[in-house]
Amino acid sequence: MSEPTEILGPLFVGVDGGATTTRVAIGAYDGAIVGRAKTGPSSLTLMGASAWQPIMQAAADILAQVNLDPVALKSAHFGLGLAGANNETLRRLFLTKAPETGSLTITTDAFIAVLGAHGGRPGGVVSTGTGAVGYSLADDGSSWLSGGWGFPVDDKGSGAWIGHEAVGASLKVLDGRLIDPPEGLSFYRDILLTCGNRREAILDWLHSASPTEYAQLAPIVLAAADGGHSAAIDILTRAGRELDELAHALDPTRHMPMALVGGLAEKMMPYLPPAFSNWLRPPRSDAIAGALMLARGQAPDEKLPDL
């Protein structure tokens, strides 16, 4: 068995934790990336303090892949951007279960997204994945959130919202409130078969479905829209308008540098209002880059307003 690799200086662990996927990257002291991993959800809203398990497992897996001793994590500097971290109760509970580290900085996942998108400089992002939120960083270091209140009351324009709208339309077809859809029944059937193949099974699914499960229906909607299905196109067009509202709330003048990020960003581009798509600029980097800035102490403190 080979000896563990030796490294100079501490490691830096960046974490982008959402409701469906967690991405982890480990950087070395010299700036090189040691490795990357992807695992399941670590949203505090969904996972609470148990979010540590997938995070630390992914970090340990990275070290194992490059033959580094996992004890190095005890002196590593962690920068975590997690969905739900703006909930102070969840945040405190999560921190009480923290493992031994060199240092630990936790912010919202939206904050690391804006850091990565604009290289730590002021600007805004609209993030759409399982959830959706708008976030801006101002010249004075203060931040502002638009949306992000959580599914089902908010997260409009997200994968969960898209799936929710598709289920609602499909139920109308099932019980006769929507008659003779012009493109046929295949789109609605595909949605409902994902939820269950009988009325009782659908009711059970509706009773317990999480935002992640609703978001897993979004690819069906996107595929139907690509095929020209008018109902799917309507859902995505309305989602695009919701995302535009998030951005407009951040800067009604539309002068702030703005980027669209998240797992659905690229797929949503055709459904955005032209005024929004023309405003957008490509992100400089991703949220993991922002998380590593946190870990390295290269980012400002997150300063969210107390509404």
Is the same domain home to 160 and 288? no
Give the pTM.
0.89
Going across the sheet that includes 12-17, the strands are: 33-39, 22-27, 12-17, 77-82, 103-108
What is the band of 1 on the pLDDT scale with cuts at 50, 70, 90? very low
- DSSP label of 68: B
Is the same domain home to 115 and 127? no
ω into 152 cis (within 30 of 0):
yes
Output 197 or 73, whichever has higher pLDDT. Answer: 73
Domain extent, residue 257, equals 122-282
Is the same domain home to 79 and 163? no
In whole angstroms, give the CA distance from residue 131 to residue 151: 7
In a domain, 136, yes or no: yes
Is the same domain home to 289 and 196? no
| 225-282 residue pLDDT tens | 999 999 999 999 999 999 999 999 999 999 999 999 999 999 999 999 999 999 999 9
Q: How many domains does the chain have?
A: 2
Is the same domain home to 261 and 114? no
- Mean pLDDT of all residues belonging to the chain: 93
Is the same domain home to 256 and 135? yes
In a domain, 307, yes or no: no
In a domain, 175, yes or no: yes
pLDDT of 184 higher than 90: no
